[in-house]
Every structure is written in C-alpha cells, then in structure tokens.
C-alpha cells in the first residue's frame, strides 16, 4: 500500500483536480484505490460521487474501530463538516487517525489523500501517513512564500510524528500554468533559481491552464474520457504526469 498526499496550504491551485485524476488513473488497471477527502468543502467527494462510498473521512479521527471493505476501483471516504472538530481535540484525534488509517488502508493498493487549503490537524495527519507528497503550485504572487511554509511543515512532521522517516517528495507541480504568460514563465524561472530543479516535479512536469480540467470535475469524469480535441490534449498532459507519479510510488518500499 502506498499513500499519496496532495498538499499545499494555498487555495485553488488544483489539488483536488490532481487528486481525483490520480485516483482514476491508479484504478484503471483494477487496483484498489481509497480516496480520503480531508476537506470539509468536499469537492473531491462531489466529483467522485459515482465511486463506491466508504463512509465519512471524519470517522478516521473519531471512530478508530472504523472498517472499510477494499474493492477494485475507487472507494471514497467523503469529507464532511464534522472534520472541523478535529483541531479542537488534537491530542485525541491525531492518534485516533493513525490507528484507524492503519486498519483501513492496509487492504488497499493505493490511498490518495486530498487536503484542505489551510494548515490544520488534518494536514498534519495526512503528512504523518504519507508515502509521497505532491504540492501543486500556482505561479502567481506569494507562490514562493507558500512553498517555504510547506517545506517547513513537512520537516516538522517528519521530526515530530515519523521518527525522522522522510516523506518522499515528488516535488512542486506548477498547475494551472499559463505557458503564454511571460510573468508566469519568469516566476517558474525564479523558483528554479531559488530552490533548484531538484525540488520541482520530475521531468519538468507541469499542468497547464485548460478548460478541459474544469469540465472534467463538473462532469465527474476523467478528462481523457471527454471526446473533445482540447480535452484529449489535456488528457495526454496529465497522464504523463500521473505515469511518473505511479512509477515513483511503485518503486518505493511499502510503509514501515
Ligand atoms: N489545470 C487547470 N486548468 C483549468 N482549470 C483548472 C485547472 N486545475 C483546476 N482547475 C479549476 O480551478 C478551480 C480550483 O481547482 P481545485 O478545486 O482542484 O483546487 P484546490 O487546490 O483543490 O482548491 P481548494 O484549495 O479550494 O481545495 C476549480 O474550479 C477547477 O475546476
Ligand atoms: Mg480542493
């Protein structure tokens, strides 16, 4: 079992878009994929409402004896407002998540966790159990600031909750990238200069701003299933990114 966490404490950067496509992609070959939606906005849960329901993701924090039957395809543990209560009782809810996660996730081949845009006990819990982390970023103002914060949080969870066990960092993935915009291209170059290529998604992967992605979320279907030329192009782009992700996950050792 491998756990992919999509996280960046910045809103609207394409976390959910990537999370649901990662789940669809991983499930294509018959793998058992569990999606945990830790965002009370529940956008991933909406888009995956045709997937097999596994219950509420809040159960992981509040009912450590929770059980979810693993099946081939995508199973969704949906986000709900009860998740807002997690932070009020962190010393209880975070250890409960650890226990419930170990019990539930073991039967699946992959777990994909979508996270909310503000730092909270839920993001902490996600990083605590992550095999790999992808951080979608936008290249607008303050992107660099958010990156520093994210890397600091990753480091502190590794130290405090993983006995120093590192999270495999797939990197910063420019998402909604406007390749025609000189400002965005400059911003990408600045990021490379400041942080180095090592911190970026492998193979210089980027997801460009394309209508097809938004349409896919509304239609609740993978972008590569939409029969329009533009959507098919988007499908090829994101499948390249997801193939890199899957290869990386498959080559890593399982959880300790
Ligand atoms: N590459 C893209 N091109 C065009 N639109 C996109 C792209 N990625 C995401 N979107 C759209 O942008 C909006 C934000 O995307 P998404 O919900 O995935 O971001 P998020 O980071 O999960 O947001 P939040 O922080 O609110 O959870 C959505 O309306 C989505 O349809
Ligand atoms: Mg989201």
pLDDT tens digits, one per residue of 221-256: 999 999 999 999 999 999 999 999 999 999 998 764
Q: Write out the residues surrounding ion ligand 2, Cβ under 5 A.
A: 15-16, 43
State how far the Cα of 93 lies from the Cα of 121, in Å rounded to an integer.
8
pLDDT number for residue 256: 46
pLDDT number for residue 253: 85
Q: Using the atom order of ligand 1, give the atom closest to the CA of residue 211.
A: 4
**What is the token pair recorded at 6?**
């999509």
Cα 251 to averaged position of ligand 2 atoms, centre (Å): 27
pTM surpassing 0.75?
yes
Q: Using the atom order of ligand 1, give the atom closest to the CA of residue 117.
A: 25
Residue 233 CA neighbour count, 13 Å, CB half: 7
Domains of the chain, earliest start first: 2-251 (3.40.50.300)
Helix (H, G, I), strand (E, B) or coil at 145: helix
Q: Quick one: which H or E segment has residue 115? A: none
State how far the Cα of 38 lies from the Cα of 41, in Å rounded to an integer.
9
**Other beta carbons less than 10 A from residue 126's beta carbon:** 25
Task: For residue 87, give the DSSP letter.
Answer: G
**In terms of pLDDT, which residue wins out, 204 or 246?**
246
Cα 217 to averaged position of ligand 1 atoms, centre (Å): 9
Task: For residue 165, give the DSSP letter.
Answer: P
Cα 182 to averaged position of ligand 1 atoms, centre (Å): 22
Instruction: List pLDDT tens digits, range 41-97.
Output: 999 999 999 999 999 999 999 997 899 999 999 999 999 999 999 999 999 999 999
Helix (H, G, I), strand (E, B) or coil at 187: helix
Report which of 30, 216, 203, 19 is spatially closest to residue 116, judged by C-alpha positions: 19
Instruction: List pLDDT tens digits, range 142-187.
Output: 666 778 888 999 999 999 999 999 999 999 999 999 989 999 998 8
Report the nearest-CA residue for atom 15 of ligand 1.
Answer: 14
Enumerate residues lining ligand 1, CB below 6 A.
11-17, 39, 41, 43, 117, 175-176, 207, 209-210, 213-214, 217
Residue among 17, 137, 138 whose CB has most ligand 1 atoms within 8 A, to mutate: 17
> At a CB cut-off of 8 Å and minimum separation 6, what does 6 contact?
15, 16, 18, 19, 22, 112, 113, 114, 115, 133, 134, 135, 136
Report which of 160, 75, 137, 83 is spatially closest to residue 110, judged by C-alpha positions: 75
Q: Range with the lowest mean pLDDT among 21-35, 136-150, 205-219?
A: 136-150
Task: For residue 177, give the DSSP letter.
Answer: B
Report the nearest-CA residue for atom 8 of ligand 1.
Answer: 14
State how far the Cα of 96 lies from the Cα of 106, in Å rounded to an integer.
16
């Amino acid at each position: 079992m491998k756990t992919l966490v999509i996280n960046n404490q910045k809103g609207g950067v394409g976390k959910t878009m990537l999370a649901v496509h990662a789940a669809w992609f991983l499930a294509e070959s018959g793998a058992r994929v569990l999606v945990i939606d830790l965002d009370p906005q529940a956008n991933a849960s909406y888009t995956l409402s045709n997937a097999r329901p596994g219950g509420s993701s809040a159960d992981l924090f509040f009912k450590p004896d929770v059980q979810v039957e693993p099946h081939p395809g995508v199973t969704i543990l949906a986000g709900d407002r009860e998740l807002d209560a997690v932070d009020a009782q962190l010393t209880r809810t975070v250890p409960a998540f650890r226990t419930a996660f170990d019990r539930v996730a073991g039967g699946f081949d992959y777990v994909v966790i979508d996270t909310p845009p503000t730092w909270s006990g839920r993001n902490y819990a996600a990083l605590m159990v992550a095999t790999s982390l992808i951080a979608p970023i936008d290249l607008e103002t303050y992107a660099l600031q958010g990156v520093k914060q994210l890397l600091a949080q990753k480091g502190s969870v590794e130290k405090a909750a993983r006995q120093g066990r590192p999270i495999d960092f797939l990197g910063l993935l420019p998402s909604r990238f406007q390749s025609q915009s000189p400002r965005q291209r400059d911003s990408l170059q600045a990021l490379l200069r400041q942080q180095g290529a090592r911190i970026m998604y492998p193979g210089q992967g980027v997801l460009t701003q394309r209508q097809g992605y938004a349409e896919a979320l509304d239609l609740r279907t993978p972008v590569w299933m939409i029969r329009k030329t533009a959507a098919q192009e988007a499908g090829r782009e994101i499948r390249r990114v997801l193939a890199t992700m899957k290869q990386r996950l498959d080559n890593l050792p399982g959880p300790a």
